[in-house]
Structure 1
């Protein structure tokens, strides 16, 4: 039965643009090689009332071939050819969309200075975007060595071109990274480890201030990671003052 087919395969085909029933129908037909609509329905459990319309759509897309008769038989086109066709269409669509998006230019009366990002990819992409524009000074705080390590190449490059200040809450956890660090006070570390709002624990993982103009803070609220980007120089200045207040007085260098 269809339940034996890898459900991840169906999800992957959905990501490539097929509906769930289209994916189930195509996978079923690949399994059967050649079959009637009734046989496909019995294998995949795609509703019988929809199977003919779905087969018609897949034929129009070029994913299957039809042999007219009584009954009519259907045969799946080689998956390598089908996936290749989808890949080419996807790439062409992506390139065309990017070109069209780059042509857009609208003047807005006012843009927001505060943005929230709620996907890991979006958060890391925005951090790298900010890092690429640093000119003079970068202040970074981290309580998560693994997260900080993802930006090691960018930080190593900035170490040569700007004033780079790296702050951590527990120095011993960051000794594997090839940087010089400053460490926060025990009071600040204790504060970070005990942030609970309305029963939800907040873990501040990463904070960055770039050239005193833009900051991004990354935290976990329960199991959900999110980030807040602020483009207000006065707020960035106040944030910088806070970090100056919570540092241990001595500058801690990594042993080389």
Structure 2
């Protein structure tokens, strides 16, 4: 370890207790040691000790941030909001798993993009483990996805063309067409509903996957009714 000597400083000339400002700051941070005596000497602390100190400070700061964030989340839960905007596939998958954890009896879903359904396997595994009534609607027929998802619950392939383009009109049919239309600026990829009380709608906008958590009571309930409507119509056809 090299030892360095400080020159040309009136601070060190008169007293070792008044080092240069930068030396004092480094000593305060624990990066250097200062010797007693005149003239004063300083030396760098072993790198391992410096890195360990920085690591400890980083971990303490991270723990403080986590505590503050949890406190903030608790405050936000108290200030209940009926709609939350999500962005990022990782974040959306986590929120869907939370949705399953909060489910009591039923977890029903519908996917325009069957491939996307496989990205939520962990959520389906949790739902199955909890013994929930799991229904998965696929709006495209693909045996690969049907087989892969069937181990999690009831999988129902639905043809929108056969259901939507009949002569009869009803409100649920109109809502279904508006919800799953491929011509809309924001294309719905999937919908998750728990117990008719809360839902997450995943959609794509400008090539970015986004999501909406909805807790307004009548909207998740109506989304549930639409999905069950599609199941009923599909069974009638078959």
Which range, TM-score by smaller chain?
0.5 to 0.7
Partners of 1:171 and 1:181 within 8 A in 2: no
Query: Deviation digits for residues 111-150 of structure 1, max 9, x if unmatched?
Result: 3211111233322221111111111111112234454334
Superposition map of 1:52-131 within 5 A: 78=47, 84-102=52-70, 111-131=80-100
1:212 to 184, 187, 196: 196
1:235 to 219, 223, 230: 219
Distance of 1:210 and 1:218 partners within structure 2 = 15
119 and 185 in structure 1: CA distance in 2 versus 1, 3 angstrom threshold: same
96 and 204 in structure 1: CA distance in 2 versus 1, 3 angstrom threshold: same
235 and 75 in structure 1: CA distance in 2 versus 1, 3 angstrom threshold: same
1:162 to 125, 132, 136: 132
Query: TM-score, length-normalised on structure 2?
Result: 0.61
Distance of 1:250 and 1:55 partners within structure 2 = 80
Shift of the alpha carbon at 1:217?
0.5
Q: Which residue of 2 aligns with 1:250?
A: 235
**Structure label with greater radius of gyration:** 2
Distance of 1:85 and 1:147 partners within structure 2 = 45
Partners of 1:135 and 1:211 within 8 A in 2: yes
CA RMSD of aligned residues (A): 4.4
Shift of the alpha carbon at 1:83?
5.5
Flag structure 2 segments of 5+ consecutive residues without an equivalent. 1-21, 34-42, 165-175
Greater relative contact order, per chain length (Cα 8 Å cut-off, separation 6+):
2
Shift of the alpha carbon at 1:93?
2.1
1:194 aligns with 2:163: no
1:183 aligns with 2:157: yes
SS in 2 for 1:151: helix
Query: Deviation digits for residues 177-210 of structure 1, max 9, x if unmatched?
Result: 334311222327998472342xxxx332221010
Query: TM-score, length-normalised on structure 1?
Result: 0.57
176 and 136 in structure 1: CA distance in 2 versus 1, 3 angstrom threshold: closer
Partners of 2:109 and 2:135 within 8 A in 1: yes
124 and 55 in structure 1: CA distance in 2 versus 1, 3 angstrom threshold: farther
Flag structure 1 segments of 5+ consecutive residues without an equivalent. 1-53, 67-73, 252-256
108 and 119 in structure 1: CA distance in 2 versus 1, 3 angstrom threshold: closer
How many correspondences in the alignment? 194
120 and 91 in structure 1: CA distance in 2 versus 1, 3 angstrom threshold: farther
Shift of the alpha carbon at 1:171?
3.2
